[in-house]
Amino acid sequence: MRGPTIYDVARTAGVATSTVSRAFSTPERVGAATREHVLAVAEELGYRPNPHARALLSDHHFTVAMVVSDITNPHYFELIRGAEMRAKASEYTLVLVNAEESARIELEQIQRLLPSVDGFVLAASRLPDENLAHLAEQRPVVLVSRELPGLPCALLDHVDGCRQIVQHLDSLGHRHLVYLAGPRSSWMASTRWSSLRTAAEETGMRADRVGPFTPKVSQGGVAADAALASGATAFVAHNDLLAIGVVQRLQQRAVRVPADVSVVGFDDIFAADLCTPRLTTLGGAHADVGRAAVEILLKAAVHGGAVGGPPVRVVLPTELRLRESTGPVDRPTASTVAGGGRP
């Protein structure tokens, strides 16, 4: 025996099927009295909305996709958790996609999901600007850890965060830092370098850049060797994974951290507090960023892709977590670090 359908509810309530659909999917678009009447009839008939039927009738799939550049990076754990909790609170399903640091894979996965999701949260997207703009014409899009004029975004304040890093290193007597850059296609890598360089100029510190490097522990050795060749006394890695790999290589070369050089990372992943020495790193409320991104996306999806006014831009504060990988510069030996240690 089949259960009651949305058509049964509409006929019994004396309303259109689209009104029944809105009463369940977007209740704010239905008058309070009508909504209560529809819900009461549905309860009396024992009707439970079918998600596939709701999607066909309302063009809402109650599913959003979150695309991350590298799912193996622990940085995304809290970001995903915050996004998933916000989606679940509105009875949406969050689909997670791993782009594998590849713009091609990212675009292919997005194209496959286009017909079946209400929008996309793109975390550290590697797609060109024109691809993002075209996607936003088809589905609501919210960027995380990236900005593009005309699109909403949620991110941490890395401009101020980089200023915190430079001021910390300056207070320890460092006069030369080197940034171990992330991927060329990373908007965040470009932003961090620009912010570090500007903050260094303000304090009279020299700033160099080497790389790019894949932001993984395995690339830390190559990054450390390049950083040592620069003669800098402070190494600022694109993320914590790269920074941990750098520290490991420095230990192999008998370069002391932080006695000879200081090392700073980004993201404050859980491993930053477990490595030796513990890593100084720039952190922030990543779960809140994920939560804010889905909040923006759901508002756009409910209102047909537009929420009115300029695109929403949520910027949350960063916090420099001071640990043992940074220390006062050893001026007598700083100039010999690049040539010291084991090969």
Contact 234, 169 (CB under 8 A): yes
Query: What is the count of structural domains for the chain?
Result: 3
Boundary residue ending a domain (41, 58, 75): 58
Query: What value does the mean pLDDT take over residues 39-60?
Result: 69
* Torsion 99-101-105-106 (CA) sign: positive
Q: Are residues 212 and 328 in the same domain?
A: yes
Domain identity same for 143 and 199: no
Q: Is residue 212 located within the same domain as residue 334?
A: yes
Q: How far apart are CA 181 and CA 173, in angstroms?
A: 23
**Of 8-22, 239-253, 277-291, the least confident:** 8-22
Q: To the nearest whole percent, how much of the chain has pLDDT over 90?
A: 66
Within a domain: 230? yes
Look up the domain containing 24 and give its range: 6-58
- Which contacts (CB < 8 Å, 24+ apart) does range 189-194 have? 189/238, 191/158, 191/159, 192/158, 192/162, 192/238, 192/266
Cα–Cα distance between 36 and 323 in angstroms, integer? 56
Query: Which is more confident, 335 or 304?
Result: 304
CB 320 within 8 A of CB 161: yes
pLDDT value at position 18? 79
204-261 pLDDT, tens digit each: 999 999 999 999 999 999 999 999 999 999 999 999 999 999 999 999 999 999 999 9
Q: Which residue has the higher pLDDT, 24 or 139?
A: 139
Phi, psi at residue 340, to the nearest 5°? -90, 175
Cα dihedral 119, 121, 122, 123 in deg (nearest 10): -170
pLDDT digits (tens, 9 = 90+) for 56-109: 444 567 899 999 998 899 989 999 999 999 999 888 999 999 998 889 999 999
How confident is residue 335, by pLDDT bands cut at 50, 70 and 90? Answer: very low
CATH number at residue 310: 3.40.50.2300
**Is the confidence at residue 291, as pLDDT, over 60?**
yes
> What is residue 184's DSSP assignment?
T
Cis preceding-peptide flag for 277 (omega within 30 of 0) = yes
Determine the pLDDT at residue 17: 81
Place of tokens 């990054």: 223
- pLDDT above 50 (res 168): yes
pLDDT exceeds 50 at position 343: no
Same domain, 52 and 97: no
pLDDT at res. 81? 95
**Is the same domain home to 229 and 259?**
yes
pLDDT tens string 180-214: 999 998 999 999 999 999 999 999 999 999 999 99
The verdict on 203 and 304 lying in the same domain is no
* DSSP 8-state symbol, 275: S
Q: How far is CA 127 from the centre of its chain?
A: 14
pLDDT, position 24: 74
In a domain, 1, yes or no: no
- Written as one string, the DSSP assignment of 136-154 is HTTS-EEEES---TTS-EE
The answer to whether residue 47 scores a pLDDT higher than 90 is no
Q: What is the mean pLDDT of the chain?
A: 88
Q: Do the Cβ atoms of 203 and 170 come closer than 8 Å?
A: yes
Give 95-107 as a DSSP string. EEEE-TT-HHHHH
- With bands split at pLDDT 50, 70 and 90, how would you rate the model's confidence at 46? confident
User: What is the rounded average pLDDT of the residues 317-330?
Assistant: 94
Alpha helices in 220-265 (DSSP H): 220-230, 240-252
**19 and 151 within one domain:** no
